[in-house]
Chain A
Amino acid sequence: EAGVAQSPRYKIIEKRQSVAFWCNPISGHATLYWYQQILGQGPKLLIQFQNNGVVDDSQLPKDRFSAERLKGVDSTLKIQPAKLEDSAVYLCASSLFQLTGELFFGEGSRLTVL
């Protein structure tokens, strides 16, 4: 079974530039999550999708971050304009059953904002 795919793995941009990350979840997983992980911290949820609807985006900085999940499969997360504090790893995860607390994470996209 293929895992969660993410790209790009690494991205370096200047502040105020834009960047987009892509995620393809495990086939059949209806729930998709984007987490932000700053170095030395635990993952922080940005947005959760159930199929192609948003379940929770309360911690998404909506003035600069946006995310979509078209057709309930893959998803993109965009940051525009980027700030220095956005330097982090952006992790995508998917789950089949939310009752078990088990998420399947991708390898992440490491963003460096200069």
Chain B
Amino acid sequence: GQSLEQPSEVTAVEGAIVQINCTYQTSGFYGLSWYQQHDGGAPTFLSYNALDGLEETGRFSSFLSRSDSYGYLLLQELQMKDSASYFCAVPSRPARQLTFGSGTQLTVLP
């Protein structure tokens, strides 16, 4: 089966940098995805890492270490609108269906 662990809550101030970690256990690893979900909203895709290293997309970056079964999402220059839940997810066999972590609630303070 698959399991993912991420912190339940993270708090930071506007303009700061925050890192949300995710460790996973899965049979047959394909990659690690990150999603953002605002209260009452739909989850939206942020990034996907299939290979080791850092992927940067604007203020958001995502990192993967397959040997450590670990990844993180890095948010820079935090804004109030970044307050949301962030989920890591892994595709699973047989059809690469996504299994989600329990989510990290990020609160950005003024």
How many residues in B have their beta carbons less than 8 Å from beta carbons of A? 23
CB distance from A25 to the nearest CB of B (A): 13
- Smallest Cβ-Cβ distance to B95: which chain A residue: A55
Residues of B within 8 A of A48 (CB): 95, 97
Q: A42-B87, A98-B91 are in contact. Are A105 and B43 (CB under 8 A)?
A: yes
The SS class assigned to the A binding surface is mixed
Task: Let me know if A45 and B44 touch, CB within 8 A.
Answer: no
How many residues in A have their beta carbons less than 8 Å from beta carbons of B? 25
Task: Let me know if A101 and B48 touch, CB within 8 A.
Answer: yes
Most B C-beta atoms less than 10 A away, residue of A43, A104, A105 = A43
A14 within 8 A of partner (CB): no
Interface residues of B in 76-110 (CB under 8 A from A): 87, 89, 91, 94-103
Residues of A within 8 A of B89 (CB): 42, 101
Interface residues of A in 1-33 (CB under 8 A from B): 4, 33
| Residue from B30, B31, B100 within 8 A of A44 (CB atoms) | B100
A interface with B by C-beta (< 8 Å):
4, 33, 35, 40-45, 48, 50, 55-56, 91, 98-108
Q: A42-B100, A106-B42 are in contact. Are A101 and B95 (CB under 8 A)?
A: no
What are 10 A-B pairs at a CB distance below 8 A?
A40-B102, A42-B103, A43-B43, A55-B94, A55-B95, A98-B91, A99-B96, A101-B32, A101-B48, A102-B48
| Residue from B43, B87, B97, B100 within 8 A of A56 (CB atoms) | B97
| Residue from A35, A44, A101 within 8 A of B91 (CB atoms) | A101
Residues of B within 8 A of A55 (CB): 94-95, 97
